[in-house]
Structure formats: structure tokens, C-alpha cells
Amino acid sequence: MAYVFIFYLIFLLGFLIYSLAGIYHLWRFGYSGDLTKAIIIIYSFISAAIIVVSLFLISVRII
Amino acid sequence: MPIKGRLFPTQTKQERVFLLIRKHWFVYVPFVLLFILMILPVVAVMVYWSFNFETITTLNGNIIIVGASAYLLSLLGVQLFGFVDYYLDVDIVTDRRLIDIDQNGLFKRKISELYLHQVQDVEAKVEGIAATLLHFGDVYIQTAGERENFIFRSIPHPYTVAKQIVNLHEQQYQQDLMIKTGDQRQSIGKSLSYGELESQAKKILKSQPFSKRIANPGIFPAPEAEMTSDFLTDSKPPAISRDKSRPKAGKRKTVRKRAKVKKEVEEEQPKTGHISEEGELREGREVDLQD
């Protein structure tokens, strides 16, 4: 179980770096009034939701 | 209608952006299909769980949760990659140049630009059933010299864009011609109004078809496509900015009046050394382009 959890944390770290790079591009090169800001918000929200739900489920099972 | 704001790093304040083009939405369809295909297994697992909830409480439950989460996040990451690649690929057409911003993935971005006077030929191509039905295609812009040709790929309404580029090129050609003609007339001391300059430029353009213009890489390239000067009636060329060294409108009348009086006095009296050659020329340069 510990291995799975460590793998997940490493994956989350990589995902975070990748997401920050993508969001930086959208934030830096998007124009005012286009879809970039909306996509940043939607992407961040969905990612956070997936991570929170998965961590919650894992923690419930561990407890 | 020009778009306001700064859209690329080297944009100047006077530069007006006429077109900001992104690729056609059809280009993004593969990513949407990929998303649908990749989300199907997740939906299948969720449906299975809803009927067999006890499986999540088994020993493999945590692995399934971690695996599903990692899978969904990867899917989201792929979509982000696709969106950045699609949405940040922009082609911009201003009244001075063409800018091609090419975003390849997250870590490769290329910005190339081409001045309108370097445009030699513009070609629009629509190939395939989808492109024909959905009105998208490529615009090939042939450049002067050994420069790499410009290609706007998979853009919507390529014929309209090509026409717009040709029109802007023609407008700049006309503007340059007007300035050149104005300069020539000024050098011989003749004043020209905006209307006179425009008709002069029209005459020259009519006498020189697009294909027969003398190549002058410095100012006017020799485009290959045959063009008419119909655009002249479509729109007025952008206003030429006023020379700051010249007196303002109010003062200009006084200067003209003084010049007139000076001329009258000069005609009455024999020429003396007090009116310099430079002074005469300055008065001769009174060309009001804003009239």
C-alpha cells in the first residue's frame, strides 16, 4: 500500500509541475477576453477535485 | 475593424491589428475524440462500481482509486497540451506586417513576422471534403528574397484572409507611393492635397499592373499575381501622421500668410540675400496630407 501511495505522490508532483507550465503559457500568452482564463479556472478546479476526492477516499480506507 | 491592445511583443502603438486568426475548430476535433475514447473506460468502471459496490472495499480498492485518479489527471493533462497547442497558435495581420505565432506543445514557441512590402504573392488553398464543407484551409504567402514562405495553416475562410492581406499590401503600396510622389513634388516646390496625392497614386497604379511593377526590394517588391486597383474605392488608407516639426494647424495659416506676404514683397522688390534658399524650400514644402 505504501508503494502505491508514494507512486501517487510522485505522480502528483510531476502533474503539478506540468500543469503549472501549461497554466503559465495560457496566462502569459492569452489575450484579454479569450478562453484562456476560463480554461485555467476549469482545469484547476477539475484537477483539484480529482486529487481531493482520491486522497479523501484513500484516507477513509486507511482509517 | 482594428483590434485594440497589444497582441504580440514587438507591436508598436501606431500599428493597427486587422485580423487575429486561430486555427479552425475542426483541428481540435482529434483531441475531443481522444478525450471521449479515453473517458469511456472510466465511465465503464463507474457503472460497474455502482452495481458492485463491494469491490471497492476489497484489498485492491486503493490501487483502483490511485490508478483511476492518475488516469483522469493524465487525461486532463493531454487536454491541456492539446488546448495550448491549438489555442496559442495565432496568426496576426496588421497594417504593417504579418505575424505567425507557432506554439508547439508547452515548451516550443516560435514567432515569425513578415512585412507587407515583402509579400509577393498570396495563395489560398482548400483541400478535402471537411475543409470544403467547413470553409477552412491554408494561406500561402510568398515572400521576396530567400526568406521562408509564410503559411497560415487550417485557418477559417482562407479566401477572405488572402484578399484582406492583398488589400492591406495594396494600401501600403499606395501609401508608400503617395509619400514618394509627395516627396518628389515637394522637392520641386509644389504643394499637394490629400486628394491630389490619391489621384496621382491611382494613376500610377492603373498604369502599372500588379504583375508589371518594377521590382525594388527596398520599397516595392514585384508581386506576381495580377491585381486591380479596385480596393482604392473600398476603403480610405490609414491617416498619415503629422510631422511634429511642422507648425500646428492654427499656426500653419499664419505661416502661409507670412509666406504669401513674403512672396508678394519678393515679387515687388528685386531679390536680395535676406530670403535664404532654405527658407524658400521650407515654404514650398507646405503639403497638408490631412486635408
Out of A11, A25, A58, the one facing B106 most closely (by C-beta) is A25
What does the pLDDT average to over B2-17? 68
ipTM of the shown complex = 0.93
B-chain CB neighbours of A26 within 8 Å are 83-84, 87-88
CA angle B154, B122, B24 (to 5 degrees): 15
Reported pTM: 0.63
Give the pLDDT of residue A17. 94
Residues B201 and B261 in one domain: yes
For chain B, how long is the longest CA-to-CA vector? Answer: 116
Q: Is A4 in CB contact (< 8 Å) with chain B?
A: yes
Residues B175 and B267 in one domain: yes
Give domain status of residue B216, yes or no: yes
Give the pLDDT of residue B79. 92
Residue B48, helix vs strand vs coil: helix
Q: Is A14 in CB contact (< 8 Å) with chain B?
A: no
DSSP secondary structure letters along B12-28: -TT--EEEEEE--GGGG
**Confidence bin at B235 (pLDDT 50/70/90):** very low
**Confidence bin at B49 (pLDDT 50/70/90):** confident
Q: Into how many domains does chain B fold?
A: 3
Out of B65, B72, B106, the one facing A57 most closely (by C-beta) is B65
Cβ distance A53 to B69 less than 8 Å, yes or no, reads yes
Give domain status of residue B5, yes or no: no
Give domain status of residue B129, yes or no: yes
Buried b or exposed e, range B188-202, using 16+ CB within 10 angstroms:
eeebbebebbbebbb
Give the pLDDT of residue B173. 82
The rounded percent of chain B whose pLDDT value lies above 70 is 57
Give the pLDDT of residue B275. 35
Q: Is A39 in CB contact (< 8 Å) with chain B?
A: yes
Alpha-carbon distance of A51 to B146, in angstroms, equals 53
C-alpha cell at A59: 484516507
Give domain status of residue B2, yes or no: no
Give the pLDDT of residue B191. 57
Closest among B67, B66, B68, B49 to B57, alpha carbons compared = B49
Cβ distance B20 to A31 less than 8 Å, yes or no, reads yes
Give the pLDDT of residue B281. 33
A-chain CB neighbours of B7 within 8 Å are 31
Q: Answer whether B143's CB lies under 8 Å from B123's CB.
A: no
**What confidence tens digit (pLDDT) does each residue in B67-84 have?**
889 999 999 999 999 999
pLDDT top residue among B29 and B5: B29
**Confidence bin at B52 (pLDDT 50/70/90):** confident
Q: Is the pLDDT of residue B290 over 90?
A: no
Residues B131 and B172 in one domain: no
DSSP secondary structure letters along B261-276: HHHHHHHHSPP-TTS-
Residue B246, helix vs strand vs coil: coil
From B87, B110, B127, give the residue that closes a domain: B87
Distance from the Cα of A34 to chain B's closest Cα (Å) equals 10
Residues B243 and B274 in one domain: yes
Q: Is the pLDDT of residue B56 over 70?
A: no
Give the pLDDT of residue A43. 95
Please tell me the least confidently modeled range out of B163-172, B212-221, B249-258: B212-221
List Cβ neighbours of B254 (8 Å cut-off, separation of 6 or more): B247
Buried b or exposed e, range B240-279, using 16+ CB within 10 angstroms:
eeeeeeeeeeeeeeeeeeebeeeeeeeeeeeeeeeeeeee
C-alpha cell at B144: 521576396
Residues B178 and B74 in one domain: no
Residues B39 and B104 in one domain: no
Q: Is the pLDDT of residue B44 over 90?
A: no
Q: Is the pLDDT of residue B26 over 90?
A: yes
Give the pLDDT of residue B159. 92
Distance from the Cα of B166 to chain A's closest Cα (Å) equals 26
Closest among A3, A28, A30 to B87, alpha carbons compared = A30
Q: Is A26 in CB contact (< 8 Å) with chain B?
A: yes
From B87, B102, B133, give the residue that closes a domain: B87
Per-residue DSSP letter, B244: T
By residue range, what is the domain housing residue B242?
166-284
Give the pLDDT of residue B106. 85
Residues of chain A with pLDDT under 50: none
Q: Answer whether B161's CB lies under 8 Å from B139's CB.
A: yes
Distance from the Cα of A14 to chain B's closest Cα (Å) equals 11
Give the pLDDT of residue B74. 93
Out of B7, B65, B109, the one facing A31 most closely (by C-beta) is B7
A-chain CB neighbours of B83 within 8 Å are 26, 39
Around Cβ A50, how many Cβ atoms within 10 Å? 19
pLDDT top residue among B210 and A26: A26
- Chains A & B: contacts with CB separation below 8 Å: 77
Around Cβ B70, how many Cβ atoms within 10 Å? 17
**Confidence bin at B227 (pLDDT 50/70/90):** very low
Give domain status of residue B10, yes or no: no
Q: Where are the domains of chain A?
A: 2-62
Q: Is the pLDDT of residue B3 over 70?
A: no
Please tell me the least confidently modeled range out of B17-26, B136-145, B203-212: B203-212
